[in-house]
Amino acid sequence: MTRRYDPDRRQRIIDAAIRVVGRNGIAGLSHRTVAAEADVPLGSTTYHFASLDELLTAALRQANEGFAALIRDGGALADPSSDVAEELARLTGVWLAGERTGVELEYELYLAALRRPALRPVAAEWTDAVSDILSAHTDPTTARALVALLDGICLQVLLTGAEYDERYAREMLARVLRQPGG
């Protein structure tokens, strides 16, 4: 039997894992469910990802790109004179207004690191990447506080089903950005 050349198989498996988690949660993820979703032999999933943690790590890395890419590629924060609080509040609104399943999935994978230590470095990569972008506008400690605040606001919106309040987010972000004695 000749082996079929399939250079995109690994990516299809990651995409399938994201769809499975989006539909069934992390508890519904197995090599078997991913193989069926990706329409690949079961052995392909275990060939590319020896463990479910490896597969979840790849899925988390891919999912993490959403918000970080929006901030990085949005352009507005590239301008040193931009109003950081206003831009972050606006970009957060854009992200939360996108496909809700994708946003929820990013957080589900991100929070999976609480129970799966193998995912923690990937979750930290996301925090570090966004903090690095924001550090161009403030000190690293304040940048990390901004990320923590954004996480809290987003989780509240996702968990309560409340509408995202851009004015509130902008005000809270501005408060964190204020320098002591300012």
Give 23-60 pLDDT, tens digit per residue.
888 889 999 999 999 999 999 999 999 999 999 889 88
Could you tell me how far CA 135 lies from the centroid of its own chain? 19
Q: How much is the pLDDT for 181?
A: 44
Could you tell me how far CA 144 lies from the centroid of its own chain? 16
* Band of pLDDT at residue 179, cut at 50, 70 and 90: low
Q: How much is the pLDDT for 104?
A: 83
Q: How much is the pLDDT for 64?
A: 75
Instruction: Tell me: do 22 and 79 sit in the same domain.
Output: no
What percent of the chain has a predicted confidence (pLDDT) above 70?
A: 96
Q: How much is the pLDDT for 3?
A: 57
Instruction: Tell me: do 103 and 29 sit in the same domain.
Output: no
Length of the chain: 182
Instruction: Tell me: do 100 and 163 sit in the same domain.
Output: yes
Is 56 among the domain residues? no
Boundaries of domain holding 42: 7-50
Distance CA 21, CA 59 (A): 9
| Nearest by Cα to 74 from 114, 133, 23, 17 | 133
126, 68 in Cβ contact below 8 A? yes
* pTM of the full structure: 0.79
Instruction: Tell me: do 72 and 156 sit in the same domain.
Output: yes
**For 91-104, what is each residue's pLDDT tens digit?**
999 989 877 777 88
Instruction: Tell me: do 115 and 144 sit in the same domain.
Output: yes
**For 101-143, what is each residue's pLDDT tens digit?**
778 888 887 888 888 898 889 888 888 988 988 888 899 999 9
Number of structural domains (the chain) is 2
> Which carries the bigger pLDDT value, residue 61 or residue 86?
86
Distance CA 35, CA 41 (A): 6
Q: Is the pLDDT of residue 174 over 70?
A: yes
Distance CA 40, CA 43 (A): 8
